[in-house]
Amino acid sequence: MKVDRFYTGHELFDEIVTINHGSAILMLDKSFVEAKNLLSTLFRKLKPYELVSYEVKTPNGQVFTMENLSLSDASVNINKLREESKGSVIIHNYLPDFIIKYEPEAILRMLEGWRDRIKSNRTVEFYLLPKDAFREVEKKMMSIVDGVIEIRVKREGKGFGLSFIVIRCCKPEYHLHEFRYKIEDSKLLIEWEGEYRDRLPVITFDEIIDRVEGYKRDLPYLRIERGTGLPTSLPIYDYWLLSQLEGKDMFYIKILFHERFDDILKRIAKWHILGYIKVVKKSEKLVDERKFNIGKPVSWKTKLALNLPLGFTKRFLSRDRIRAVPADVYAAEKRAIFEFLKIFFGESTDLGIESLENLLSLEEGFHEIVGRSTAAERIRKLGEDVTSSIDLKYLPKIIKITLHIGYKLDCNVREVSPDLFLVTVYDCFLCEGMKSIRPICRSINGALIGACSLTFKKMISCREMKCKALGDENCVFELKIER
């Protein structure tokens, strides 16, 4: 059945609230004033029908009085209105008086009986009710309607702040999320990206470039914080990246993602415009650049360590005690996740394959950030410049050190070409005793991407070519330097 979406004409409201023709929405409002104000402002051009308890004079004549009508007569008149004005908006503003006057159960039966009428006539109807005044009726109405919008009024200083939350009649990511709003010059303005507006932000290339240049100028003073907008329809990697940026200083983001910082700044600018994040400028520097030894030449000790046999290099570069997760814990965790996917989605369904791929992508992403942050911290502790790179001739050694420090695994690294390396892991415990339709040691992918990208300041990709979970003898990874 095709969904018949209803649009109010308010870009931001329609982005947040999803209403279809033939829907009934419960509006909860303790003040029993603000919900009506919001709807009146939202539909000022549509001229909805308003059903009230007592006679009210209005210029458009769209008000119908329910005074002195029996419950059955009121229902007949309202159904007649639906028939005569198919597809229109109807606001029910009389319910508190009816609940007091008639039996609540009779009111609920009437509302439930209207459901098919509302759908067949494609009307969009709003039931206004003072929150917590009729709790049992409110609770039962929530099961009858298609969605709920709750208006909240909070004291803020000498005035009051308004917000609304949406239940069910919205995208999943907006469910129960609180949105601040105000009514100004007969316009409904919703807070988005720290500003009150009635339209979604428009993203232009010039605006993104302007913001990126501004970020670079103020880099040491900027911090990423959560925005008011909620991300939708992003690739899994972008969701992961967005989660890793929140709460971080912009300068530290540059440390972690030096080789693709310009690309990340463009994403930050886009997400900033969309309201997914806030870029907050502090009055003082958030980072002391000296902490990262910027500009300091590579010490003779590190040069010597990199040229020593692998055993000596390992001992020098991993002098601190390493807290390693036991192999059986890794394996048990992976097995538990795979059993979960198998029960819910099956082993080879499209949904199962997609869920497995998303899970593995997230696992790779989290290990990438661990690889980056661990490499940055170890370089800093050695007293070296975290922002500088070293010669690519040391890449095989760094690969071996990364797998040793992270997983206590040994490997062989074969150079296929100056840009391509094959990494063979002989005793990989991450897939021990498991079977899969996909290579599953993505945590190693992530660790190698993170550690090597940060160390060499190059775009580096890694993918598993062979996996013991596929029946292969060893796990083999292809690591490629992107030029």
Q: Which residues of 25-46 are buried (b: 16+ CB within 10 A; e: fewer)?
A: bbbbbeebebbbebbebbbeee
Same domain, 282 and 332: no
How many Å is the maximal CA-CA distance in the chain?
Answer: 96
Give pLDDT, residue 34: 95
Final residue belonging to a domain, choices 197, 227, 242: 197
- The reply to whether 231 and 351 lie within a common domain is no
Tell me how far the alpha carbon of residue 340 is from its chain's centroid.
23
171: confidence class by pLDDT, cuts 50, 70, 90: confident
Please check whether residues 306 and 454 belong to one and the same domain. yes
pLDDT of 59 > 60? The answer is no
Q: Give the Å distances, CA to CA, from 180 to 74, 185, 197, 360, 468.
A: 36, 17, 11, 37, 53
122 Cα distance to chain centroid: 33
Is the pLDDT assigned to residue 291 strictly greater than 90?
no
Q: How many domains in the chain?
A: 3
Based on the domain organization, do 162 and 259 belong to the same domain?
Answer: no
Radius of gyration of the chain (CA): 30
pLDDT at 331 over 70: no
- For 238, 282, 301, 367, 467, the CA distances from 447, given in Å and listed in that order, are 18, 33, 25, 5, 17
CA angle 160/161/162 to nearest 5° reads 125
- Non-local (6+) Cβ contacts of 84 within 8 A are none
Same domain, 176 and 225: no
Q: What predicted TM-score, i.e. pTM, was given to this entire model?
A: 0.60
How does the average pLDDT of the chain come out, rounded? Answer: 86
Domain boundary among 287, 311, 340: 287
Higher pLDDT, 37 or 335: 37
Query: Which residues span the domain enclosing 155?
Result: 5-197
* Sign of the alpha-carbon dihedral angle for 241, 243, 244, 248: positive
CB proximity list for 76: less than 8 A, separation 6 or greater: none
pLDDT band at 349 (very low <50, low <70, confident <90, very high): very low
Identify the domain boundary among 145, 179, 197.
197
- Give the Cα separation of 318 and 402 in Å (integer): 10
257 & 390 share domain: no
**How do residues 244-253 score in pLDDT, each as one tens digit?**
898 999 999 9
* Complete DSSP assignment for 319-363: -SPP-PPPHHHHHHHHHHHHHHHHHHH-SSSHHHHHHHHHHHHHH
Same structural domain, 151 and 273: no
Identify the DSSP state of 140: H
Under 8 Å between Cβ of 456 and 390: yes
CB 236 within 8 A of CB 179: no
- Please state the length of the chain: 483
Range scoring the smallest mean pLDDT among 23-32, 34-43, 407-416, 426-435:
426-435
pLDDT category of residue 350 using cuts at 50, 70 and 90: very low
192 and 72 share a domain? yes
Q: Check whether residue 345 and residue 231 sit in a common domain.
A: no
- 273 and 187: one domain? no
Percentage of the residues of the chain whose pLDDT score is greater than 90: 54
Nearest Cα neighbor of 108 from 85, 134, 82 is 134
pLDDT above 60 (res 290): yes
d(CA 157, CA 196): 19
Q: Do 230 and 163 reside in the same domain of the chain?
A: no
CATH number for the domain harbouring residue 136: 3.40.50.300
* Shared-domain flag, residues 190 and 54: yes
State the number of CA atoms in the 13 A half-sphere of 336 facing the CB: 6
318: domain CATH number is 3.30.1380.20
